Every structure is written in structure tokens, then in C-alpha cells.
């Protein structure tokens, strides 16, 4: 099983964040610029205070008839933020994401934000592992037939 640390080493450790006082529109612009579906919301001290996602926008702005240029992210962000550590395995991430129905998880190490993974990152990691195991089994079978 791969760890989150290994996933981040492949993917990169860069994390795009947003402050709680920026408008939803500005946060959406940033998400589009970086092609991401969610952003950790980080206060001036660097602490995660929430998570802003496309789902938050759809359910808390659009469906309620609000204007994204008038609302701060802090008004609609999810404040109950699940997180993982670099030692968490990809399978543990998948279980947590499936159970809690979340698509993004911040990675914290000693209280510091050190990464951010999506369900796509986790699926890719598990698929890579499965591919490796299949190749190993094929080689084993071929050696046995020789």
C-alpha cells in the first residue's frame, strides 16, 4: 500500500489555499486557474478553518439564489474538515472518502498543511498498485511455465 507521503512525492506538495474573507467568486476564479475542485480555507496564522468546494458553491450559493461576488467564502465553506497524515495509506484514504462522502482531504503533519489530495489521486495510486501486482503475477506465472 502506498502512503499519502508517496502520493505527494509523485504529485507534488504544492497546495493552493484561500483566505476566509475572499469572495466566493474570487475563490472560484482561483479554482479555475489551478484546475482544482476544492481549496482549503486558511486563516492569517496558517490554520485550516474550512474547506471550499464546488459542491459548497452549488448547494449554498446557486440553489439559494445568492450572488458569488457578494458572499465571503467563510459564509459557505464546510467547517468540519476531515484530514489525514502523510502516513495514511491510499486504502485508508479511500475508505474515509467513501464513508464520509468527501472528495478532497488536507494532509496535516504536526498541525501544518503539507499537502492536499483528491479522490482522483487516491484512485490513481490504487490503480498503479494493482497494475504492479498484476505484472508481478504475470511474471511469476511465465517463470513457472518455462
Give ∠ CA 36-78-45 in degrees, rounded to 5. Answer: 85
**pLDDT computed for residue 143 by the predictor:** 81
**pLDDT computed for residue 50 by the predictor:** 97
Euclidean distance between CA atoms 129 and 135, whole angstroms: 10
**pLDDT computed for residue 7 by the predictor:** 96
What dotted CATH number matches 4-145?
3.10.580.10
- Cα-Cα end-to-end distance for the chain: 30
Euclidean distance between CA atoms 138 and 32, whole angstroms: 42
Q: Are 122 and 94 in contact (CB under 8 A)?
A: yes
**pLDDT computed for residue 49 by the predictor:** 96
Domain ranges of the chain: 4-145
Which parts of the chain register pLDDT below 50? none
pTM, full prediction: 0.86
φ, ψ (nearest 5 deg) of residue 49? -115, -5
Tell which residue, 45, 47, 39, has the closest CA to residue 22.
39
CA dihedral 102, 105, 111, 115 (to 10 degrees): -170
Amino acid at each position: 500500500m502506498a502512503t499519502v507521503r508517496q502520493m505527494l512525492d509523485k504529485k507534488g506538495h504544492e497546495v493552493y489555499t484561500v483566505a476566509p474573507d475572499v469572495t466566493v467568486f474570487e475563490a472560484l476564479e482561483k479554482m479555475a486557474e489551478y484546475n482544482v475542485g476544492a481549496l482549503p480555507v486558511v486563516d492569517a496564522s496558517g490554520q485550516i478553518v474550512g474547506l471550499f468546494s464546488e459542491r459548497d458553491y452549488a448547494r449554498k450559493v446557486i440553489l439559494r439564489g445568492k450572488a458569488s461576488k457578494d458572499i465571503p467564502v467563510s459564509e459557505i465553506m464546510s467547517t468540519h474538515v476531515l484530514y489525514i497524515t502523510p502516513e495514511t495509506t491510499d486504502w485508508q484514504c479511500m475508505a474515509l472518502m467513501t464513508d464520509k462522502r468527501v472528495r478532497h482531504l488536507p494532509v496535516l503533519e504536526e498541525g501544518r498543511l503539507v499537502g492536499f489530495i483528491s479522490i482522483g489521486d487516491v484512485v490513481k495510486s490504487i490503480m498503479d498498485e494493482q497494475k504492479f501486482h498484476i505484472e508481478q503475477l504475470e511474471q511469476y506465472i511465465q517463470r513457472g511455465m518455462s
